A and B are shown apart, each in its own frame.
Chain A
């Protein structure tokens, strides 16, 4: 990544978040929701949406007030800002997506301690302008959504046989007699999250190494 005088450009920030610095697979941040709410696509995408809302709002807000930040109080200001937007997201979900809000339960308030957001405030928003911060937030949010979607797709398809089952009712694996196919209950349960994340992360690292080997520096 090229270093301009005032850090990466908005476009570099945006692209960076999606794959090169993917929050799930490259930064390994936000592991709590990654493991906890990825047994259905609905839950994972609602979480990704809520995180995107908070990340965009917090990043832009911090970027706007960055000249006023005192170095030793900045983390306090980040946390305060993030907590305010998380509470708004939580109330919005309870009002407009009540079932999802009940299903995700405390994981929505727990976005406050999601390290992706505080990391972006520190790395980007506290140093660069609002346009860059907005692009950074959108890129990271997309990267996070991709990370969650990759895990949730595998878990929901193997665990329930559906994809977006609750919203769209799509069945990927047709309902078959138990002798031919039965849903992998373990994929729905917490161990499925660890197995899927571990295997996918291994695959991403393997692909990375192959690419690096093919292109000698």
Chain B
């Protein structure tokens, strides 16, 4: 035991020092990073909900969402932040839905650390376009061939898990959001 500590004390001390330093950096920078993500999310709202020109932060049953508004300030849809486990790390998505949350109008990847060249293809506009217009009455399904049914999303080649994660997050979080919205 003593010998082990003699050998490893530097590693242990450094781990503690670096751990504390990183916690400090995270605490200091977190508000700024969150503000950046919020600005990014608000910028995306016109692309995520057709007809929307602005967004306003709102809360539905404790969940932070964005109301997508048109020029006149009328509600045309919602943008729901949804996060979950991806293939490599946490995935943060923004899902645009119509006013009664019955169909998806758009999808955006806010933060991801998927495999470069494979998994990060989920951020490509062509792939994300598949989600627009999908009904939320039934869960979406990931398929590896050309989509046949209405609820099919074709997985990115070489990134089955990343695609499957996105679809899973959308299914789970949006089902919950629909329930919350009905109870509001």
Contacts and interface: CB of A to CB of B under 8 A. Distances in A.
Interface of A: 36, 65, 68-70, 73, 76-77, 80-81, 83-84, 87-88, 91-92, 94-96, 98, 102, 105-107, 109, 190
A84 B22 contact: yes
Contacts of A69: 10
A77 B25 contact: no
20 contacts: A65-B10, A70-B10, A73-B8, A73-B11, A77-B10, A77-B11, A84-B18, A84-B22, A87-B25, A91-B26, A92-B25, A94-B29, A95-B29, A95-B36, A102-B40, A105-B113, A105-B116, A106-B113, A106-B114, A106-B116
Given A81-B18, A96-B32, A109-B113, A91 B7 contact: no
Contacts of A91: 25-26, 29, 33
The 9 closest A-B pairs by CB, nearest first: A84-B18, A98-B36, A95-B32, A95-B29, A106-B113, A94-B33, A91-B29, A95-B33, A68-B10
Nearest to B15: A80
B88 interface: yes
Nearest to A108: B113
B112 interface: yes
A98 B34 CA distance: 10
A109 B88 CA distance: 12
A60 B88 CA distance: 31
B17 to A, nearest CB: 9
B21 interface: yes
A5 to B, nearest CB: 27
Contacts of B11: 73, 76-77, 80
